[in-house]
Amino acid sequence: MPETLSLQGGRALVTGGASGIGAATAQKLSALGAQVVLADIDGTAAAEAVATGVAKGFVTGNVADTGDADRMVQDARDAMGGLDMVFNAAGIGDDLMPVHLQDPDRWQHVVDVNLKGTYLICRAAGAIMLENRTGSIVNVSSIVGLGAFPGRSAYGVAKAGVIHLTKTLACEWGSSGVRVNCIAPGYTKTPLVRDLLDRGVFDPGLIERRTPLGRFAESEEMANAAAFLLSDWASYVTGTVLPVDGGWAAYGAAGDVDKSIPTKA
């Protein structure tokens, strides 16, 4: 195992790669030596990201459509001559709405993109990796998938499903040399979160007070965690859920985190 984390020679597909955590992870994987192909529903944004030199190319389509998912994975493999890694970051946010007032079609759409899309990309990529008896997949769950967030049942159900899917695939594919893990990001400065902030869905001060580290995450911090799990540094790690949340999931007391702990007794 190299003393310095390296992905030299690796071939990675990053879904949702045109912005946010996906874009940051594509940049990180490329900087560590991997070839990268971006997948995104926004072809213009994907092309702009590729123009910066962080990726070999891009594919476009809807991850929640079986035909599109299969095609994007196959095209990425063909472009790079193989497929060793997948980072599933494609996703959409939901509306803050109690269950009894939700539009069922909107609920289903959120679940389809976040959960079914992850499933379909894993399914297509897994077939390639199983044949080669090697590969690493990292999915993106959320702290919303670790505990109940009132008003966010669609996103929460989808992200909890991503966790269960990750564990199931890890158990099914481990004996064939394919590792599957996921990260559970906390509130991160992404376009999706900025949209929620702009719409007044939540109070940023409340989030910061509730988080032990006292701040929102940067997308690059999620990329660092993803790179570790994708790399050989995590060669004996599979089926795990890594919260990258500033301590959010660990905190169990009532009210805000007490940040005034004295330094001396």
Q: In what order do the strands lie in the sheet with 11-15?
A: 57-60, 35-40, 11-15, 85-88, 135-140, 178-185, 241-244
Which superfamily does CATH assign the domain made up of 11-187+218-244 to?
Answer: NAD(P)-binding Rossmann-like Domain (3.40.50.720)
pLDDT at 95: 82
Is-contact 226 139, C-beta < 8 A? no
What's the rounded Cα separation, in Å, for the pair 179 and 77? 18
Give the pLDDT confidence of 18-56 residue by residue, as tens digits: 999 999 999 999 999 999 999 999 999 899 988 988 899
Give the pLDDT confidence of 182-240 residue by residue, as tens digits: 999 999 999 878 887 888 777 899 999 999 999 999 999 999 999 999 999 999 999 99
Is-contact 192 219, C-beta < 8 A? no
**What whole-number percentage of the chain has pLDDT above 70?**
99
- The torsion angles phi and psi of 9, rounded to 5 degrees, stand at 85, -10
- Burial label for 104, CB within 10 Å (0-12, 13-18, 19+), is exposed
**Between the CA of residue 79 and those of 13, 37, 71, 218, 236, what are the distances in Å?**
10, 8, 12, 30, 29
**Where is pLDDT greater, at 261 or 27?**
27
58, pLDDT greater than 90:
yes
What's the rounded Cα separation, in Å, for the pair 208 and 196? 15
* pLDDT (average), residues 141-160: 96
Give the pLDDT confidence of 88-100 residue by residue, as tens digits: 999 998 888 999 9
243, pLDDT greater than 80:
yes
Confidence label for 2 from pLDDT (cuts 50, 70 and 90): low
Ordered by start, the domain boundaries in the chain are: 11-187+218-244
* pLDDT (average), residues 241-260: 94
Q: Specify the pTM.
A: 0.95
Instruction: Assess whether 155 carries a catalytic annotation.
Output: yes
Is-contact 123 116, C-beta < 8 A? no
Instruction: Give the H/E segment covering residue 184.
Output: strand 178-185
1, pLDDT greater than 70:
no
**Where is pLDDT greater, at 261 or 236?**
236
Catalytic: which of 119, 155, 236, 251?
155
**What whole-number percentage of the chain has pLDDT above 90?**
86
Mean pLDDT of the chain: 94
**Where is pLDDT greater, at 262 or 91?**
91
